[in-house]
Structure formats: structure tokens, C-alpha cells
């Protein structure tokens, strides 16, 4: 376990040093993260400029969903996407073997191989959004709600991570997987709205097929104290099953890769 | 064809130091330094010549090549290629030259090479008849026929290089800049590339300038070599002269009909290797005649040959000398 | 210039062959263009109880489907190609060809239009099916849509080209383009119809170049303007095209000067 942490720390340090090499880019990317946060907020402001509630959600409640969205987008674009792009590159250049040869878990190495440190701004932004939202609501979330929503956040990150791992597993079979990742990133944009905005078939898809509801809507509901225990438990369970499945598929595709490339 | 007078090329680059702390510091203050890539080089190359640029990594070979091709502007000095100032990038100039880089490609990755051929025909505005003749000729010379229809990504490195050469020569350039054209290729493919370049040079009396890490490329292709080290031209002449200057010794290879004692060999020169059937001896230029005569008269010989020292060794010595100076 | 035009048909042919070779990727890229639909969902939910600023649910449907169409038909990606070529050093080889590589890039982008049309066609079908009543009835303005789309594409292409050229100076110009995209998403009407902004913001947005890249063709399709106004706007759009052409030219020349001094 300690070794695992050391590996993670070393990877983070390397990524940070790499990111700092590019001075201009560092500044620009930091500002960019802020800009994109503003871009995410503008539509919400405009929509609620016209309406008091939308699909049963007030402005403040919708902000909570958006807060989770911003935070998770930070996770996705700050660690998962760049790392996975790295894998795609490895597979294309045939240098993945170097990664597989290292005496640490390949999935771990692969999924943290590159981070973009300026994405920390996303978390700060999410915190600001939460603070503002609960000021508007008038009371802070209870400790129990906080705990539940933290648990659900964990589930959300796990699902996000698993989807990314699944995408990479495909990389071993079909090479141009960067596009799939890109597609997923853009589909993830749907998670900026609570799932109840959607109706009919779309609502079903975003809850069960691509569990976007689990990523932002459920943690938000939990924080607002509106999520019932059964849904929460179901979501957590679902997330772990999903992660286990992704791990299995990862292992089997690694095996196939190593046996095929020898 | 090519005139270079007092060429200088300096770059200003920022220095990057390793480590997190240095990286953080460089956010505030970024140190600059001048890199003197080329320092006062002059030479002239006639039409139809084949010249090899030799030198260690970072010696200024590729920089010189890029200045000649017009990609880089000289910091000082005068450069003329075929009567043009390369950096002006006149269309007439660009249609007379070509650049092949072993590690970079212009072929479209996911399309067959024939598609890039067609594209270059349009870009260089090659008359249809000449184009077809050239393609037929190149196809025959390089055995491209089975490759042209396959997507480039499916070709092997060697096959790709052959197509890369062909596409670079479609417009029948008069000056060829070849930057490490055989890098990563296997021995037979290297030979193919060399033979082809030579054939093209003779057929169109085109000027060829080559940089390569493989001494065989230079030895086989270039009657004239230029050695560039630390941005300076330290040798310009024929390869045998270079060898004579760097290593004025010869190697005498003796095949013996029966084993001999070491003390019988010592008077001949320095023994490099010895076994029962074969001995290699290093002999100075002046002592060569005496040694050979002595060997012939005193030793039970089956065969005797005199050779230059291996090229790679010559190069190693050359740059070791340069670094010591 | 003449040489480039002479070679252009072949460039288009090659570009089309490339588009066909990358058909699977194209499909994915286009499916990834789903932001208008995401935005449509929230506005449709908000407009359930009645129209907002003149947009009913069908109005929003029409707007965002048009936005999707314009986006699909005016794609450009030259900024990524330029930064990639420059980083990998293949830029040098392209530079040695006797025609400016941007011509080739523009041909690549244009030649993908038939491919994009295939994906856009179902969107047209859905648009006609769901929101026919919201569309313009003036055949002349539909005719104007052709130069308007052309202008929109050119604007997008030229902005990308001028920013991509900056990669010759900076390690990564693509983040600069990212910033431009951020502003463009808001101010071009991609996320929100400009009509829904507060008056002051809207008035500014109408003057900026972003609007001519997306909102203006949508406005034509929705019949927002009289014929005279539509023509005036077309002139304004092409004036911006001319401006960005000059900017690209300048950026290209100065970028090449830098490249020649410092190397790739």
C-alpha cells in the first residue's frame, strides 16, 4: 500500500514538473480553466433569468448539480483524459511494453501517467459554487447529508474512472480510441443538468446505460437532503459492480495484448 | 551549384533545468543563452557532386542543411543555391530542391502513396507526360509496384522510405538534401537506398548532400566529405584523405598456414588480434613496406592484405581528437 | 496563388480520399457535436410552461437544430493539424513544397463537406419534421445561406489558421484556441440564442465576429431579418472574413520569420 502511494506521488511530481516546464502554457491553462467555468455558468444564469424553477429545480439546487459537474469535469480532464491519451500514444508507438514491464500495477500507472495540475482550479471553483448555492438556500447541508454525498462522489469518480478504463481496454483492440474518449467527454456534458430535465428514453439512457445521473444528480440530491436511502445504496452498489467489471475487462485485454505482441 | 561564404547560425534558446524547483523558478525568470549552431563555414559544391556531411549529434549538420534548403535564415554570411537565395523561398527555387528526412514523412499516413504522388504532381505542377515517365521509372528502380496501392500505415519502415524517396523526387529536383535517409533501415534496404540515390544522381546529374550516422552510406555514396564539428568545418575533401589524416596507419591482415610465436610478429608492428590462423597488425604508413616485406620473407603465409582502419573507428578518433582540442 | 488554384482540384480530391479513409472518426467527431442538443434539453424543460423571449419549445428546437447543422457544415480543424505538424517537425517538409501548406489544409476541410452532409441530412429531416413552421419562407434568404455558410466556415478556418501559426512561437498555441472557443461558445449563439442575453450583452455580441460564424446563418434559416438586413449582414460577415484573411497572412509571415530564425 505504501509503495502504491509512493508510486502515485512520484507520478504526480513528474507531471507537475512537466507542466511547469511550459511557463506560458501554465498561466494560460489556469486562466482557461476559469474561463470554461464561466462558460458553464452563463447558460444557467440566462435560463434562470427567465424562469424561477426548471423541471422542479430551483436555481440554487441546479447550482449544486453544476458544482458536482465542474468538480468531476476537473477529475476527468485533469487526470483521466490526459493519462488515457498517453496510453493511446503508447499503444500507437508500441511503447506500452515499457509500462507493462514496470513493477507496479499497470492500471494504476496508466491511469495516472499524466495530470494537468491547473485543473485544481476546477475544485476551487466547485467549492465556490457550493458555498454560494447553500447561502442562497439558507442553510448548510447536515453532516449526514455531507457524508452520504461524499460516498456518492466516490461512487461517481469510480464510475468515471471505470468508463475511462473500459475505453482504454478497447484501445488494445481498435487503435483510434482517442476519438472514443473525446466522444465520451462530450457526452459527459449532459451531466451538467439534473437527469429529470430529460424525458422518456433519454432519461432512461442517462440513468442506466450511461450512468450520468449517478455522477452529478445523485450526489447533488444527497447534499440537498433529497435522496432516499434505497437509491443511494443502489447507486453505491452499482458503482462498485461497474468498477469490478471494468477491472476484469482491463486485465483480460492486458493479457490479450501481451500474448499477441510477443 | 551551392556557394556558402562565412555562414553563421546562432540560436537564442531558454535554458531548462531539471527538477521541480528549477521549473518553478523559471516561471519568474527564464535564463537565455546563445547556441552557436554554425560558426563561420564556407564551401562550394558543384552541380552533380555527391557530398556527405559528417559530424557528431548537434555538430551543426542538420542546421547547415536547413539553411541550404531555405528553412532557416543565416545569422551571418551568404548562401546561394542554384543561383537563388534559399531564404527567399522563390517558387523556382523550391521546385528545384527536395528534402528527405529519415524520421519525418510527407506521405499521407492513412492513404496509399499513390495519393500523395497525385497531390505532389498538382502542387509541383508536373506535366502529365513527364510525371508518368518519372513514376514509371521510379517504380521500376525502387520496385514500388506492389506498395503504391496500400495505405502508408501498412507499409514497413523500409517500404515507406522507398515511397518517401520517390515522392520527394517526382518533380526531378536538381538538389537533394538527405537527412539521415537510412536511419533504422536494415542493411539490404540501406544498400537499396544508396544504389538508388546514386542512380538518380547520375541520371539527372543532380547534386546530393547527405547527412548520415552510417559511415557506409557516406563511404558508398560520397566521393567528397565535409566534417562539421562544433559548428565548424574541420575537413573538406575525399574520404581516403580524411582517413589518412586521422589515422595514418594501415592494418595488415595475415592468414597463416601454421601457428607462429608472438615474438616473431612483434617486429612487424602493433598486434591487434592474433589466433592460430589469423593475425591483424597495425602498421604506420612509413613502416608499411618494410613490415610487409618482412612478413612475406619470415612467416608461413597463406595470404596477406593491407586495409584501412575501420571507418567507424576513424570517426570515433576524429571526434575524440576534436573534443580534446 | 495561381499555382495554388491550379492544384486545388487535386487537393480537394486528396482531401476527400482522406475524409473517406477517416470515415469512422468523422462519425464520432460529429456525434460528439452534441452541445446544442444538451442545451435544447434544458430550454425545452424551461419552456414547458410557456415561451421565453419569443421562443416556444418548437422555437428552441428549431434554433438548436439549425445550430447543429451550421456547426456540422462549417467544421475546421486546421489548428490541431498545424500544431501537430509543427511539434513533430513534419512542418519543414510541407514548407519546402512550392505552395503554402494552408491551401492544402483548407482543401482537406472543404473536402469533408460531402461526408458531413451525410450526417447532417437526418438532422435536416428532423428539423423539417419537428419545426417546419419556424423556418424562413423566403427562398432568397435560403439562397443567401450558401455564401453565409461559406463565410462562416472561412472565418472559423482563418481564426484557426492564424492561431495555429502561433505554434511556431509558443509551445502550444492550441490552448489559446481553447480560450477563443470559450468566448465563441457564448458569443456566437452556440450555447444560447443571442436574443436571450440582456440587451447590452446582446448588442455587443451582434457586432463581434463570433456571431457571424454561427448565429448569422441560423438567423437566416429562421427568417429573422428582412432581405435588406440579411444582405447587409452578409456584407458585414465578409468584411470580417477579409479582416481575418489579413490577420492570418500577417501571422503566417511573422511566424515563418520566427521559424527561420529559431528553427523548428
Q: Is the pLDDT of residue C264 over 60?
A: no
Residue among A210, A199, A89 nearest A156 (CA): A210
**Is B325 domain-assigned?**
no
Return residues 29-88 of B near A (CB < 8 Å): 30
Residue with the larger pLDDT of the pair A107 and B267? B267
Residue among B43, B89, B39, B106 nearest C260 (CA): B89
**Is B313 domain-assigned?**
no
Residue B268 shares a structural domain with residue B206: no
Residue B144 shares a structural domain with residue B234: yes
Question: Is the Cβ of C24 closer than 8 Å to some Cβ of chain B?
Answer: no
Q: How far is A74 from chain C (nearest CA, A)?
A: 16
Which CATH number fits the domain that encloses residue B286?
3.30.70.980
pTM attached to this predicted model:
0.86
Q: Give chains near B: 3+ CB pairs under 8 A.
A: A, C
Residue B15 shares a structural domain with residue B109: yes
Q: Are strands B301-307 and B249-256 parallel, antiparallel or unpaired?
A: antiparallel
Residue B216 shares a structural domain with residue B135: yes
In this predicted structure, what is the pLDDT of residue A262?
41
Residue B296 shares a structural domain with residue B231: no
Domain count, chain B: 2
Lowest mean pLDDT among B163-167, C84-88, C184-188: C84-88
CB contact under 8 A, C96 and B124: no
Residue B101 shares a structural domain with residue B183: yes
**Is B219 domain-assigned?**
yes
Residue B203 shares a structural domain with residue B222: yes
N-term to C-term CA, chain B: 33
**Is B321 domain-assigned?**
no
Residue C102's domain comprises 2-262
Which CATH number fits the domain that encloses residue B153?
3.40.50.300
Chain A interface, Cβ < 8 Å to C: 22, 24-25, 28-29, 31-32, 35-36, 38-39, 42-43, 46-47, 49-51, 54-55, 176, 179-180, 182-183, 185-187, 189-190, 192-193, 197-198, 202
CB contact under 8 A, A20 and B27: yes
CA distances to A184, C96, C97 from C101, rounded to whole Å, are 32, 9, 8
Residue B50 shares a structural domain with residue B147: yes
Best A20, A47, A177 residue to mutate vs chain C (most C CBs within 10 Å)? A47
**Is B317 domain-assigned?**
no
Helix pair angle (A143-171, A178-188), 10° resolution: 150
**Is B179 domain-assigned?**
yes
In this predicted structure, what is the pLDDT of residue A141?
85
Per-residue pLDDT, averaged over C36-45, amounts to 90
CB contact under 8 A, C99 and B66: no
Residue B77's domain comprises 2-243
pLDDT digits (tens, 9 = 90+) for B167-207: 999 999 999 999 989 988 888 999 999 999 999 999 999 99
Q: How far is C21 from chain A (nearest CA, A)?
A: 13
Question: Is the Cβ of A17 closer than 8 Å to some Cβ of chain B?
Answer: yes
Give residues with Cβ within 8 angstroms of A88, minimum separation 6. A168, A171, A175, A177, A178, A181
Residue among A112, A118, A113, A122 nearest A19 (CA): A118
Tell me how crowded residue B226 is: count the other CB atoms within 10 A of its CB.
Answer: 23
Residue B294 shares a structural domain with residue B151: no
φ, ψ for residue B98, nearest 5 deg: -155, 155
Best A9, A12, A20, A118 residue to mutate vs chain B (most B CBs within 10 Å)? A20
pLDDT digits (tens, 9 = 90+) for B27-64: 666 667 778 889 999 999 999 999 999 888 778 888 89
Residue B168 shares a structural domain with residue B265: no
Domain count, chain C: 1
Question: Is the Cβ of C13 closer than 8 Å to some Cβ of chain B?
Answer: yes
- Under 8 Å CB pairs connecting chains A and C tally to 89
pLDDT digits (tens, 9 = 90+) for C199-251: 999 999 999 999 999 999 999 999 999 999 999 999 999 999 999 999 999 99
- Closest Cβ–Cβ partner in C9, C18, C93 for B99: C93
C-alpha cell at A180: 472514443
- Closest Cβ–Cβ partner in B63, B103, B118 for C14: B118
Q: Which helix (H) or strand (E) holds A16?
A: helix A2-21
Residue B112 shares a structural domain with residue B236: yes
- Closest Cβ–Cβ partner in A25, A39, A51 for C185: A39
Which residues of chain C lie closer than 8 angstroms to B11, CB-CB? 261-263
Question: Is the Cβ of B23 closer than 8 Å to some Cβ of chain A?
Answer: yes
In this predicted structure, what is the pLDDT of residue A206?
78
User: What's the CA gap between A164 and B17, in Å, rounded?
Assistant: 34
> Cell match 557516406: residue?
B218
> Cell match 480520399: residue?
C17
Tell me how crowded residue B168 is: count the other CB atoms within 10 A of its CB.
Answer: 23
Amino acid at each position: 500500500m505504501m509503495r502504491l502511494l509512493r508510486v502515485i506521488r512520484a507520478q504526480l511530481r513528474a507531471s507537475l514538473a512537466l507542466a511547469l516546464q511550459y511557463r506560458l502554457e501554465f498561466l494560460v491553462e489556469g486562466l482557461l480553466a476559469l474561463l470554461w467555468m464561466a462558460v458553464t455558468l452563463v447558460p444557467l444564469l440566462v435560463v434562470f433569468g427567465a424562469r424561477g424553477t426548471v423541471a422542479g429545480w430551483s436555481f440554487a439546487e441546479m447550482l449544486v448539480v453544476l458544482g458536482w459537474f465542474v468538480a468531476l469535469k476537473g477529475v476527468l480532464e485533469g487526470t483521466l483524459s490526459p493519462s488515457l491519451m498517453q496510453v493511446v500514444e503508447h499503444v500507437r508507438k508500441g511503447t506500452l511494453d515499457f509500462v507493462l514491464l514496470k513493477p507496479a500495477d499497470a492500471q494504476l500507472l496508466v491511469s495516472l501517467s499524466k495530470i494537468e495540475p491547473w485543473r485544481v482550479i476546477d475544485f476551487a471553483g466547485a467549492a465556490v459554487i457550493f458555498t454560494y448555492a447553500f447561502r442562497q438556500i439558507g442553510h448548510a447541508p447536515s453532516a449526514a447529508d455531507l457524508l452520504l454525498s461524499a460516498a456518492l462522489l466516490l461512487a461517481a469518480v469510480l464510475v468515471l474512472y471505470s468508463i475511462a478504463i473500459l475505453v482504454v481496454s478497447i484501445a488494445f483492440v481498435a487503435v483510434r480510441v482517442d476519438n472514443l474518449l473525446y466522444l465520451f467527454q462530450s457526452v459527459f456534458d449532459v451531466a451538467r443538468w439534473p437527469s429529470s430535465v430529460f424525458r422518456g428514453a433519454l432519461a432512461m439512457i442517462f440513468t442506466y446505460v450511461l450512468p450520468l445521473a449517478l455522477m452529478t444528480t445523485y450526489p447533488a440530491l444527497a447534499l440537498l437532503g433529497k435522496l432516499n436511502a434505497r437509491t443511494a445504496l443502489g447507486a453505491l452498489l452499482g458503482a462498485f459492480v461497474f468498477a469490478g467489471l471494468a477491472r476484469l475487462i482491463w486485465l483480460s485485454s492486458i493479457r490479450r495484448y501481451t500474448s499477441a505482441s510477443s | 551549384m551551392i556557394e556558402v561564404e562565412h555562414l553563421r547560425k546562432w540560436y537564442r534558446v531558454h535554458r531548462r533545468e531539471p527538477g521541480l524547483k528549477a521549473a518553478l523558478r523559471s516561471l519568474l525568470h527564464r535564463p537565455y543563452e546563445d547556441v552557436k549552431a554554425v560558426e563561420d563555414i564556407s564551401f562550394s559544391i558543384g552541380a552533380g557532386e555527391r557530398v556527405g556531411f559528417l559530424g557528431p549529434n548537434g555538430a551543426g549538420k542538420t542546421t547547415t542543411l536547413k539553411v541550404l534548403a531555405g528553412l532557416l535564415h543565416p545569422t551571418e554570411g551568404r548562401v546561394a543555391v542554384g543561383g537563388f537565395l534559399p531564404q527567399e523561398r522563390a517558387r523556382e527555387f523550391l521546385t528545384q530542391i527536395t528534402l528527405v528526412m529519415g524520421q519525418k514523412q510527407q506521405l499521407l499516413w492513412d492513404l496509399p502513396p499513390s495519393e500523395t504522388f497525385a497531390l505532389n504532381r498538382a502542387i509541383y505542377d508536373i506535366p502529365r507526360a513527364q510525371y508518368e515517365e518519372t513514376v514509371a521509372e521510379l517504380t521500376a528502380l525502387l520496385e514500388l509496384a506492389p506498395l503504391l496501392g496500400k495505405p502508408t500505415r501498412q507499409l514497413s519502415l523500409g517500404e515507406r522510405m522507398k515511397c518517401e524517396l520517390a515522392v520527394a523526387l517526382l518533380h526531378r529536383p536538381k538538389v537533394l538534401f538527405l537527412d539521415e535517409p537510412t536511419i533504422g533501415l536494415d542493411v539490404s534496404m540501406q544498400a537499396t537506398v544508396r544504389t538508388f540515390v546514386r542512380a538518380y544522381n547520375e541520371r539527372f546529374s543532380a547534386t546530393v548532400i547527405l547527412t548520415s550516422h552510417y559511415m557506409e552510406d557516406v563511404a558508398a555514396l560520397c566521393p567528397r566529405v565535409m566534417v562539421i564539428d562544433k559548428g565548424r568545418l574541420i575537413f573538406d575533401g575525399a574520404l581516403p584523405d580524411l582517413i589518412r589524416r586521422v589515422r595514418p596507419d594501415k592494418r595488415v591482415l595475415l592468414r597463416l598456414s601454421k601457428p607462429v610465436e608472438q615474438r616473431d610478429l612483434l617486429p612487424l608492428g602493433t598486434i591487434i588480434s592474433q589466433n592460430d590462423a589469423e593475425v591483424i597488425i597495425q602498421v604506420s604508413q612509413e613502416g608499411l613496406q618494410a613490415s610487409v616485406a618482412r612478413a612475406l620473407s619470415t612467416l608461413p603465409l597463406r595470404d596477406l592484405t593491407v586495409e584501412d582502419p575501420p571507418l567507424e573507428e576513424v570517426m570515433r578518433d576524429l571526434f575524440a581528437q576534436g573534443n580534446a582540442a | 496563388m495561381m499555382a495554388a488554384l491550379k492544384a486545388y482540384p487535386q487537393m480537394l480530391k486528396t482531401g476527400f480520399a482522406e475524409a473517406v479513409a477517416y470515415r469512422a472518426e468523422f462519425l464520432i467527431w460529429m456525434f460528439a457535436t452534441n452541445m446544442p442538443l444538451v442545451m435544447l434539453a434544458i430550454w425545452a424543460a424551461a419552456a414547458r410552461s410557456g415561451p421565453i423571449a419569443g421562443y416556444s419549445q418548437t422555437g428552441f428546437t428549431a434554433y438548436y437544430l439549425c445550430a447543429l447543422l451550421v456547426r456540422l457544415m462549417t467544421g475546421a480543424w486546421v489548428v490541431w493539424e498545424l500544431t501537430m505538424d509543427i511539434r513533430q517537425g513534419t512542418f519543414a517538409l510541407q514548407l519546402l513544397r512550392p505552395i503554402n501548406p494552408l491551401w492544402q489544409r483548407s482543401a482537406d476541410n472543404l473536402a469533408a463537406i460531402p461526408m458531413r452532409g451525410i450526417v447532417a441530412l437526418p438532422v435536416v429531416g428532423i428539423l423539417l419534421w419537428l419545426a417546419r413552421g419556424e423556418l424562413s419562407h423566403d427562398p432568397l434568404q435560403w439562397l443567401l445561406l450558401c455564401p453565409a455558410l461559406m463565410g462562416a466556415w472561412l472565418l472559423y478556418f482563418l481564426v484557426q489558421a492564424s492561431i495555429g501559426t502561433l505554434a511556431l512561437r509558443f509551445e502550444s498555441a492550441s490552448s489559446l484556441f481553447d480560450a477563443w472557443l470559450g468566448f465563441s461558445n457564448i458569443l456566437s449563439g452556440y450555447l444560447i440564442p443571442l436574443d436571450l442575453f440582456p440587451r447590452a450583452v446582446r448588442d455587443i455580441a451582434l457586432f463581434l465576429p463570433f456571431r457571424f460564424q454561427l448565429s448569422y446563418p441560423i438567423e437566416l434559416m429562421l427568417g429573422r431579418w428582412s432581405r435588406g438586413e440579411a444582405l447587409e449582414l452578409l456584407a458585414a460577415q465578409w468584411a470580417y472574413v477579409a479582416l481575418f484573411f489579413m490577420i492570418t497572412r500577417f501571422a503566417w509571415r511573422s511566424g515563418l520569420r520566427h521559424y527561420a530564425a529559431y528553427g523548428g
